[in-house]
Structure 1
């Protein structure tokens, strides 16, 4: 094996599964910040679209924002480690619901442009995002279940 064939390219992995090894940590951090800022901006624009009555634009922009959020963490962790984390046994179901809800939201937005269906898909998407995110917090899901259980008992007793 000659020296040129052993050099790593930006899209090869190291032993620990890190991609983008041709990029410095500073560059990956800058990419993370850029994608996070674009994600926030896209989601913000989605809420503006919602306030002006464009439900399908809201669906597209918020879903795009969530995709950019995933891309931001891919730059830090690398795609392989990100996928391993997303599909480990504790969050596999939440990840599948989250990804399916994003696809369904986009499908409904483009295929039907129905405000009611877009709103429903948007709610499922945000709920899936919250449930997925809670899997990264120790006892986060248990705490959420407890809060929702207490809230439902209060509502039922009123």
Structure 2
């Protein structure tokens, strides 16, 4: 299992190597500025995703695909402010999460392409749900035992049906 930070014996506070101390990132921001940038990206992404979800019920597929997908990308981009963009890309392409990352990016592109070419609302909704699942699976790889929790939860739901 890979963690987004290095646990070292007797280094730093609480024995954890702070990912924000090593990489100044794209912008030379202080810790509090990074937290604010992450929060702004997360909230902006959430607003765009919710707005996109509203557009699908209004049968505006292009607006849906644009808002929903950009909302997801913005939320993911915000993580770069916490750990640094270079380190985030390195972690995203680590073997443990590479398949989930590629699947997420592929579904993101497919959502855009199909919304602009076909405008099929049902298909866009299915792709958005798959995109959300791929992002959740990718994100769970950063949480210790995150993927096994998802597997057990889905297994419990399947058994209940």
Give the 4+ runs in structure 1 shifted more than 6 A: none
Cα deviation digits, residues 12-57 of structure 1 (max 9, x gap): xxx9444235333333333222212211111121122123232332
Paired with 1:140 and 1:56, the residues of 2 have a C-alpha distance of 33
Q: Which sections of structure 1, spanning at least 5 residues, go unmatched?
A: 1-14
Corresponding residue number in structure 2 for 1:115: 121
Q: Which sections of structure 2, spanning at least 5 residues, go unmatched?
A: 1-20
Mapped contact 1:56–1:115 kept (Cα < 8 A)? no
One of 62, 70, 80 as aligned partner of 1:64: 70
Paired with 1:28 and 1:146, the residues of 2 have a C-alpha distance of 34
SS at 2:81's partner residue? helix
| Number of positions where the alignment pairs a residue of Structure 1 with one of Structure 2 | 141
Paired with 2:33 and 2:43, the residues of 1 have a C-alpha distance of 15
Q: Quick check: 1:143 aligned with 2:149?
A: yes
Corresponding residue number in structure 2 for 1:106: 112
Offset of residue 101 of structure 1: 0.9
Paired with 1:144 and 1:24, the residues of 2 have a C-alpha distance of 34
TM-score (norm 2): 0.77
Range moving further from structure 2, 128-137 or 17-26 = 17-26
TM-score (norm 1): 0.78
Paired with 1:21 and 1:119, the residues of 2 have a C-alpha distance of 36
The structure with the larger Rg is 1
Higher relative contact order (CA 8 A, sep 6+): 2
Q: Quick check: 1:129 aligned with 2:135?
A: yes
> What's the Cα RMSD here?
2.0
